[in-house]
Amino acid sequence: MGRYVVPIVCIAASVLLQAGVFGYISGRLDATASLTLSCTGFGAAAVLFNAALLVRRARRGPAAASPKATGLLALMNVVTAVTFLGFYASLSWVPSALATGIETAIGPAVLALLGLAGYGRRATRQGWAAAAVLLLLGLGIAWTFTGTGGIQPSAETALGLALVVGAGTGAAVLALISAELGRRGIDPVYVTAHRFHLTYLCGGALLVAAGGPSRRWAAEPTDVLLLGVLAVAVPLFLLQAGLQRADPMVAMVLLTTLPGATYLAETVFHGGFSATSLALICCLIVVAPWYARLSRQEATGARGRDVQQRSTATTATTGT
């Protein structure tokens, strides 16, 4: 049981922490502030977890080193940079609850499509139906925000939504990569220490091109560092630990609860309330655990069939 509970707890803790910070910073960021927060958070994650690796190696010696997965980590650097820089940039133009709602809602559908292409597990008819429901609920949440004056149609809004869709697609790909790293026994601390290098380097280059940090954020370096650690370093480590031990579809479905938590955090910090938005978010939260349980059962059944097929093949080969 702990095999399934621990990764779910890690993902849930990551969701709650991210939601609280996203709700707090919603509406407070311009483009340069978003990049500043991104660079700070991802740079802090790299420093903190590389320091953790150094301490571990000093205590345990060479045995503490993780197996190498250079190709996967290089791919993860690229996808991470595209996903997270796109998402944090989108917060300049769309509310964080809207951004997280769309990003997480499309995740299960993207995984189902990747399964058709041979990447990951193929979704069943029930899985497709649940993914479609989650997608429709996510679009419904988006409609309530645009229809109640949360955002106004514009070129900037369209760009922000396009970045969110790209981030949602990247998140699904990251779930598949993380699952493979977990199967290879790569330590989440090792992964977190090495997956963000391209992200903070690209974010820093974009920040320099944009003229550097805004005066407000440059004048509050301690606050920026704290938000970076709380919004990025800690929750993404927890998420990485969960992703490497959970089925990718289960993880993506659980992440669909992020917009509901973010919406509640936004309400606490900034006020405002939409009964329609809350109702749709509650529906999404009801569907998500059911789909997560269905996905876990399907994954367990698929592993059982694989073991049986390998056993049959071995028996046929040995002739016993």
DSSP letter, residue 30: -
Domain holding 54, by residue range, is 2-306
H or E, element range at 246:
none
Q: Does the residue 56 lie in any domain?
A: yes
pTM (two decimals): 0.80
Question: What does the pLDDT look like over 37-67, one tens digit per residue?
Answer: 888 889 999 999 999 988 888 887 665 556 6
Structural tokens at position 199: 């992200």
Long-range Cβ contacts of 199-202 (<8 Å, 24+ apart): 199/38, 199/42, 199/77, 199/80, 199/81, 199/84, 199/85, 200/38, 200/39, 200/42, 200/43, 200/46, 202/81, 202/85
Q: Does the residue 193 lie in any domain?
A: yes
- The Cα 178–Cα 186 span in angstroms is 9
Residue type, 119: Y
Question: What does the pLDDT look like over 88-137, one tens digit per residue?
Answer: 788 778 876 677 778 878 888 898 899 888 887 787 787 788 888 888 88
Q: Does the residue 142 lie in any domain?
A: yes
pLDDT-based confidence at 290, cuts 50/70/90?
A: confident
pLDDT-based confidence at 70, cuts 50/70/90?
A: confident
Q: Does the residue 315 lie in any domain?
A: no
Detail the DSSP E strand segments found in the chain: none
| Total number of domains constituting the chain | 1
Percent of the chain at pLDDT > 90 equals 21
Q: Does the residue 140 lie in any domain?
A: yes
- The Cα 54–Cα 47 span in angstroms is 11
Q: Does the residue 237 lie in any domain?
A: yes
Q: Are 39 and 203 in contact (CB under 8 A)?
A: yes
Q: Does the residue 7 lie in any domain?
A: yes
Question: What does the pLDDT look like over 213-251, one tens digit per residue?
Answer: 767 666 677 888 888 899 889 999 999 999 998 888 888
Q: What is the mean pLDDT of the chain?
A: 79
Q: Does the residue 218 lie in any domain?
A: yes
